[in-house]
Each structure stands twice: as structure tokens, then as C-alpha cells.
Structure 1
Amino acid sequence: MSRRTCTAVWLTSQLALVARRLGVDSIGDHANRNVGNANGSVISLVSPTKWRIGMSHLTDRVEIAELVARLARALDERRFDHLRTVYTVDAETSSPRGTLNGIDDIVDVVRRTSPEEELTQHFNTDVVIDLDGDRAEVNTHQLVYFFRQGEAPHRTAGVHVRYAAVRTPVGWRFARAHISPLWRHVS
């Protein structure tokens, strides 16, 4: 499946979630004033207020999902200062290795514990976002490959991450992250 198709499938599922929250139970439910367009597709008409709320909800979900991707990219590209665009200033991260408090501590420890010769590739899956106004709980699974340039991975790990996201004046940010290793394999 192409990246465009994956994005379209994900976006369609998000639109379905928004539609359900707006009270549109199913496509074709005439009680919700559905009409067909020239292509034969069915469109549900809802009030402008509900539409704005729905679009805001969808926009929030997309922005939060993008945070997950931007965090992975910052780690994989070793652009550790970009973590400042993902976490709040007073963010807290916890894992079996310990707890880090504040973005300066997070950036410093990630930089110091990422050997130059070891690269990573993070894959996020099963991203579940539970919105509650200006806050959200985000759960995701990660598959992380550790490798040296031009070589096959020498270590692989499966991780579950639970984030607490908050809306800030500059957009959504993670205020908290709890990292739970699920498994690892060393070659």
C-alpha cells in the first residue's frame, strides 16, 4: 500500500470518528440529512457549529499524530534540539532507566546516551489519541531498529509509549511520556 493510500485510509478513519461524535451514525442515514454529490458519494450535512467542532477535533488529532512522528524523526536524524518543539519546557519522561524533568534535562540525556556510531529508525503504530479539550492521552507502539551506517540492525526493540499532550500557545506538545519496553532482540 502506498504512503498516499495509507494516509487516505487513516484520514477516512479519523473523519468517521468525527462524524460519529457529531451524531452522524452512518453514511446513508437520511435522518441526518445526507445528500449525494455528482460522483454518487454521500455527504452528511451538519450544522456549521458542529462542523467547526468536528474539524477542530480532526485538526487536533492530526497535529498530535504529527508530534509522534516529529519526535521519532528528531531521534532518528539526531536533531536533539528539535525535541524542544515536541515537549513542553517542564516535560517529564519516565522509563525503567529513570525519570527526566524538564526539556533541558531530556535533550542533554538523549544527546549523551546516543552514541555517534549507532543510528536508530523508529516506526510508530497503533497510535490512539483520546482528546479531552486542551489535553490528550496518546498511546503508541514503537518498533525501533538500532544499526550502524550501511549495516543490518544489531538490536531491535518493541516499546509502548504513553504520552500526555497539552495544547500550548505554540501548538500541541507532550508534557509527559512514559516509556515501557516490551521486548528486545540483540543480533
Structure 2
Amino acid sequence: MNYDLRTLADRAELHDLLLHLCRALDEHRFDDLNSVLTQDATGTTRNGTGSSRDVLIAQIEAGNKDYARLLHRFSNVLIEVDGDTATIRAYITALSGHADSLVPASRGYGLSRIKAVRTPDGWRISELNVEPVFVVGQ
């Protein structure tokens, strides 16, 4: 494992990228995903497989827009940087609920496998894959 200053800075930026992803979801700011994903981003979520940023954002929004309360959390984050590319492996917890209840309508637990690339605007996710492990509720 390389712990030089450049790699540590990259890993911090990549970790922040995950936080921006969660914030965009939790706050229903789906347009903010444009600054998280590359234009040609691909991936698989619980709502299917997407082959562009617009398709992925539409999938993500469709799966979350009907819930007033959202909470997404990454844990056990492993970031590996190799020049201008990176891989991220992390567990994701997603809680979804309605405005009139503090009890989640559904709870999802999965494994995220993410690829990221360095762009002129900073790190962006080029591939976002979420494998469900457990789903409780809807």
C-alpha cells in the first residue's frame, strides 16, 4: 500500500466523492449526481443496468423519489488508487421511509464496487455497481 502524500490526498477526495453521492441521494438532489458521475458512467443498481450518466441518474431517482426519508451510508471502505484510476469497495446501507413515520419502509444492505477516474474537474465515478446482499421490507 502506497501512503505518499499524493495517494493520501486522492483517497481523501475519493472518500468525499462517496459522501457527495450519499448526500445527493438523501437530500433528493439527483441533479447533483452530474458532478459525481462521468458522462459515460455505467453501472448496476437495484433498478437495473445503465450505460450512461443520464440513464443511471434516472434509475437512481426512480428508486428513491417516492421516499421522503432516505439515509445512505458507506462502511468498510477500501480505496485503491492506481495513477488516474481507482477502485472502491464498500458496504452500503440504504434506509427508505415515508414522511409520516420514523420507521423505515425498507432497509437494503449491499456491496458496492466502484471505479473512478481522475478528470480535469477532480475524481468522478465511471462505474457504479451495487450488489444487494439483504433487503428488508419493500
TM-score when scaled to structure 1? 0.68
If asked which structure has higher relative contact order (CA below 8 Å, sep 6+), I would say: 2
Q: Distance in 1 between matches of 2:21 and 2:67?
A: 20
CA-atom RMSD in angstroms: 1.9
Give the letter aligned to residue 174 of structure 1.
I
Kindly report which structure 2 residues correspond to 1:1-187, keeping only aligned pairs within 5 A, or say none: 18=3, 54-95=4-45, 97-151=47-101, 152-186=103-137
Residues 91-100 or 133-142, more deviating: 91-100
Instruction: Give 3-state SS (helix, strand or coil) of 2:64's partner.
Output: coil
Give unpaired runs (5+ residues) of structure 1: 1-15, 19-53
Q: Count residues with an aligned counterpart.
A: 137
Within 2, Cα distance between the matches of 1:157 and 1:114?
A: 12
Deviation above 3 Å: which 4+ runs of structure 1?
Answer: 115-118
Identity of aligned residues (%): 29
Higher helix proportion, which one?
Answer: 1
Deviation for aligned residue 1:61: 0.3
Output the TM-score relative to the length of structure 2.
0.90
1:101 deviation in Å?
1.3
Instruction: Letter of the 1:64 partner, please give it.
Output: L
| CA separation of 1:113 and 1:185: change in aligned 2, threshold 3 A | closer
CA offsets 1:80-103 (integer angstroms, 9 cap, x no match): 000011100000011454210111
Q: Secondary structure at the match of 2:70?
A: strand
